[in-house]
Amino acid sequence: MQTELSQTLGIEHAVFGFTPFPAVAAAISRAGGFGVLGAVRYTAPGELKRDLDWIEAHVDGRPYGLDVVMPAKKVEGVTEADVEAMIPEGHRQFVRDTLAQHGVPELAEGEASGWRITGWMEQVARSQLDVAFDYPIRLLANALGSPPADVIARAHDQDVLVAALAGSARHASKHRDAGIDIVVAQGYEAGGHTGEIASMVLTPEVVDAVAPLPVLAAGGIGSGQQVAAALALGAQGVWLGSLWLTTTEADLHSPALTRKLLAAGSGDTVRSRALTGKPARQLRTEWTDAWDDPDGPGTLPMPLQGLLVAEAVSRIQKYEVDPLLGTPVGQIVGRMTSERSVQAVFDDLTRGFERAVDRVNRIAGRSGQ
């Protein structure tokens, strides 16, 4: 699964794997792909440094990258406390009532509520970059469009390629004009924040819009046949995220959540604002249903929603409250039916890719050439 982009980066397969788990990122790179560590969960520079140290020690010299959530426009002087003060009391009460309805226990006194979605904040993202640029990362990806111009320039000065996710050809063209090196065309089927255009339509539109920039196809991809289809549509690789959640290297800290993922079908996800305030595909649960109910208060805009529900999500996950328990995941969850190692996933991808290419060659009358 070689392309010009994979050859530029020195990887065996044009498979880019986004994951919040350092062990998964390292395993993806060791398997011949390109592991990309998601940084949004890291609120302290020391935590990110610790995990990048670990990746460096376990990646066997293979290339890897980092994904941040950085807004293109900077807002001066806004602290997390300022944002917290903007959350209406009615929404806080709705959270309390929903948790009480399902009997979700409180956290122990003094116990931290787990990670908070603060990686969107300018100062947090920049502190992450100050750490990351001390490491030999080869790629910086941004999930909120093009990063600020000075960040792109800083990355290029250190020979780091910059990628940005796009849900439409219009967004992709803006990335090209901003100096982005790689556009990730993320279709409607994808887990997490995603747009409204399906991958089969979006990928060739983006390829045409930004040519000759390389494009990675994302959304609903979990087999070698789909990788072959993405390359046939003009992409130079694929960007996979959901597929790694049920690998043996992943650390979800929740056997109940793993069981739900393995049992879910492709129709068991919903594109909801319940988690962050922006449409994000995730498992459909009674939690997402409550927020999407027209009789409820409705979700708040990003980043208010993420801060509002951070403690609630931590409680739901800690106590594994099944009706409310969910996670961002794409429609490909229907293919995630067993726990496998990252290497086993790659073995399956390469075999499926070879079968698909052979099939097309036979149709084209090129068998044996």
Torsion angle, alpha carbons of 85, 87, 92, 98, to 10: -150
In this structure, of 145-149, 230-234, 246-250, 316-320, the range with the lowest mean pLDDT score is 145-149
* pLDDT score at 70: 76
* pLDDT score at 188: 96
Whether 78 shows a pLDDT value over 50: the answer reads: yes
Residue-wise burial string across 79-97, b where 16 or more C-beta atoms lie within 10 A, e elsewhere = eeeebeeeeeeebeebbee
- Tokens of residue 119, six digits: 């990686």
How does residue 119 score in pLDDT terms, banded at 50, 70 and 90? very low
Rounded CA-CA distance 10/32 in Å is 9
What mean pLDDT do residues 189-199 have? 95
* pLDDT score at 75: 54
Whether 110 shows a pLDDT value over 80: the answer reads: no
DSSP string, 240-295: E-GGGTTBTT---S-HHHHHHHHH--TTSEEEESTTTSS-EEEE--HHHHHHH-TT
- Characterize the bridge pairing of strands 192-193 and 280-283: antiparallel
Of the candidates 21, 20, 11, the residue with the CA atom closest to the CA atom of residue 69: 20
What are 271-297's pLDDT values in tens digits? 999 998 989 999 999 999 999 999 999
Query: In this structure, what DSSP letter does residue 107 have?
Result: P
Of the candidates 203, 138, 141, the residue with the CA atom closest to the CA atom of residue 172: 203
DSSP string, 53-86: HHHHHHSTT--EEEEE---SS--TT--HHHHHTT
Please tell me whether residue 110 adopts helix, strand or coil conformation. coil
Q: What angle do CA 321, 114, 110 make, to 5 degrees?
A: 100
Residue 334, CA atoms < 13 Å, CB-side half-sphere: 11
**Alpha helix positions (H), the chain:** 4-9, 22-30, 45-58, 80-84, 89-101, 122-132, 149-157, 169-178, 199-210, 224-232, 255-263, 286-292, 304-318, 342-363
Residue 51, CA atoms < 13 Å, CB-side half-sphere: 24
- Characterize the bridge pairing of strands 34-38 and 237-240: unpaired
pTM, to two decimals: 0.93
- Characterize the bridge pairing of strands 269-272 and 280-283: antiparallel
CATH topology of domain 4-75+117-250+344-364: TIM Barrel (3.20.20)
* pLDDT score at 159: 96
* pLDDT score at 218: 98
Whether 120 shows a pLDDT value over 60: the answer reads: no
* pLDDT score at 143: 83
Q: Are 13 and 35 in contact (CB under 8 A)?
A: no
Rounded CA-CA distance 207/120 in Å is 28
Percentage of the chain modeled with pLDDT above 90: 79
Average pLDDT in the chain: 92
Q: One-letter amino acid identity for 274?
A: A
- Tokens of residue 250, six digits: 């992943």
CATH 3.20.20.70 residue ranges of the chain are 4-75+117-250+344-364
* pLDDT score at 299: 96
Whether 306 shows a pLDDT value over 90: the answer reads: no
In this structure, of 144-153, 190-199, 277-286, 325-334, the range with the lowest mean pLDDT score is 144-153
